[in-house]
Amino acid sequence: MERKDLRNIAIIAHVDHGKTTLVDEMLKQSGVFRDNQVVADRVMDSGDIERERGITILSKNASTEYNGVTINIVDTPGHADFGGEVERVLKMVNGVLLLVDAAEGPMPQTRFVLQKALDQNLSIVIVVNKIDRPDARIKEVIDEVLLLLMDMGATDEQLDSPMVFCSGRAGTASYSPDAPGTDLKPLFDTIVEYVKPPVGDPNAPLQCLVSCIDYNEFVGRTSIGRIDAGSMKVGQNVTVCDWHNKDLCKNARITALYAFDGVGRKEIESASAGDIVMFSGIEDVTIGNTICDAGMPNPISFVKITDPTVEMTFSVNDSPFAGREGKFVTSRQIRERLHKELLRDVALQVEDSTTTDSFRVMGRGEMHLSILIEKMRREGYEFQVSPPKVLLHTDEAGNRLEPYELVVIDVPTEYQGAVIEKLSGRKGELVEMHPQGDTRMRLEFRMPSRGLFGYRSEFLSATRGEGIMNTIFDGYGEYKGDLPTRTTGSLISFDTGTAVTYGLYNAQERGTLFIGAGEEVYEGMVVGSNPKGDDMAVNVCKTKHLTNTRASGSDDALRLIPPRRFSLEEALEFLNTDELLEVTPKSYRIRKQILKNDLRMKATKGKKA
């Protein structure tokens, strides 16, 4: 039976192509918010980190009404590191809005999310967004989208997908690129007319695939999924089973049931086939489980989430400043927090390490893990992390394989030579190169993921901040051997104490400092970088010897260069193989694994011998 009163859609796109902004306008224009209601920009990005970085990390559900039809909307992440979110939420919907930036055109993540939608034979509505950009090239982008569809083996029906031209920020849509439109009515009409309504028998035995998981302290674990068949009621006894785990067959009970209402949710007593619902009462349910009628297990097929490609070691902070700033510092507390994250994040894996004070944390990429680090830091956790490294595989013939990335770079033409030279030195293979307008060039590389560690900051410097780099996982390939590592050395504090102007003035002649006067340091802490490539111990706590003719006040005449301050990602990129990043609620500190200078020198000499 078709639910003509219902449409379930997901909004998919490359990062920063305007998904969340467009959802905002759809909700406003469909009457979800009162006319006088104050609504934050990107209302679907509810997390502080999402708002600060302008990216969607977790998929969000919303619902609105248009001409008597309920439209359930799922806003998905655009960054490749959170692709696990996209893979699973597409199981809940019957159609997608594929957003493409009118200037950038299809990008790596566009290809990834479109392939997932084509594989599931979903209805596709192509939305060319940001048509009001001054550098928009709408007609070229239309051709690029059609070429992408053909390249990916789209059916004739999918090639005939309708195309709508929007400005998410202005809240306008039209059927023609030459007419800007006045509202989003053309987009809503296209969704209702073209996206397939959900089909399911409300009288059949219950089947509901769990596609998302949430967790809070009051109700525990909650599940989100679409009811494929049958109906679900509060108090109903159910059986939990799984397509990939035939041994799983356990009984449970639905204690609460919710439907999505605007950007919130409301309690309901029952729901039937086609509805997207949230429910609680099943404590250890996980993504991919199927909820069925009691005693009637019939699991729904589910594609396994792509395995992690990058790992880091999280460990207890053992620096001299340990415990000063954090509330949660023990291995037990860190372990509990990491396993709590597993309740929400299906693409993350956590394993105990060889020691009781450290844990292997594996994810989709550097950003995936850095977001976790930032969340824990803000919650009051204090710990230290190792440099990221890739997870290697071995094929049947015993060959070592490593993860590869497809790297797409847009740069001004005058910088393309520097980018090609650097990435070629990092084992990158240039696979495509073509102009973007009159002044920019698009370069596509396939290269080992290891080759990108530490490159983003270097890339921004080489392109004077005008370059745009996007990456996406591109499978496993031949292990490329040793790659060039960081070319700069570290300036390491020789002593523990407070950095003073005189000591910093002498140290800044050796390289770039990361700290300023008055900051506390400890022996083995990295306080700067040395362009010569070798590590060097400096005494930033050294004070000037006072005499009758040399007073301490004369330090005011010494001019210090402002220190370089790292973001979390920059600090992780800077880390060398023998360094750690100390993370606290107030600070990031780079340090050597061996803090004592004499012990570190002995270990270094032993390796060279």
Say yes or no: 122 and 19 in one domain.
Answer: yes
Model pLDDT for residues 474-520, shown as the tens digit of each residue: 889 999 888 877 778 899 999 999 999 999 999 998 999 999 999 99
User: Using CA atoms in the order 49, 569, 423, 514, what is the torsion angle rounded to 10 degrees?
Assistant: 140
584 is in an annotated binding site: no
21 is in an annotated binding site: yes
Say yes or no: 138 and 172 in one domain.
Answer: yes
What's residue 46's pLDDT? 45
For residue 340, the tally of other CB atoms under 10 A from its CB is 11
496 is in an annotated binding site: no
Model pLDDT for residues 102-127, shown as the tens digit of each residue: 888 887 777 777 887 888 888 899 99
Counted domains in the chain: 4
Task: Choose the final residue of a domain: 274, 293, 312.
Answer: 293
Stretches where the chain sits below pLDDT 70 are: 15-17, 31-60, 77-87, 216-217, 303-305, 545-556, 606-609
Q: What is the CATH number of the domain that holds 269?
A: 2.40.30.10
Q: What is the CATH number of the domain that holds 584?
A: 2.40.50.250
16 is in an annotated binding site: yes
Task: Choose the final residue of a domain: 478, 512, 546.
Answer: 478
Rounded to whole angstroms, how far apart are CA atoms 389 and 402? 11
Q: Is residue 277 part of a domain?
A: yes
Q: Is residue 118 part of a domain?
A: yes
User: Using CA atoms in the order 170, 54, 367, 76, what is the torsion angle rounded to 10 degrees?
Assistant: -50
19 is in an annotated binding site: yes
**Range of the structural domain that residue 517 is part of:** 489-608
Angle, nearest 10°, between helix axes 138-151 and 108-119?
50
17 is in an annotated binding site: yes
327 is in an annotated binding site: no
What's residue 548's pLDDT? 54
394 is in an annotated binding site: no
Among 19, 188, 26, which residue's Cα sits nearest to residue 109? Answer: 19
Say yes or no: 173 and 262 in one domain.
Answer: no
What's residue 551's pLDDT? 54
Say yes or no: 179 and 42 in one domain.
Answer: yes
Say yes or no: 283 and 400 in one domain.
Answer: no
What's residue 304's pLDDT? 67
251 is in an annotated binding site: no
Q: pTM value?
A: 0.78
What's residue 490's pLDDT? 92
Task: Choose the final residue of a domain: 166, 194, 222.
Answer: 194
395 is in an annotated binding site: no
Pairing of strands 123-129, 95-101: parallel
> Is the separation of the CB atoms in 64 and 30 below 8 Å?
yes
Rounded to whole angstroms, how far apart are CA atoms 241 and 209? 10
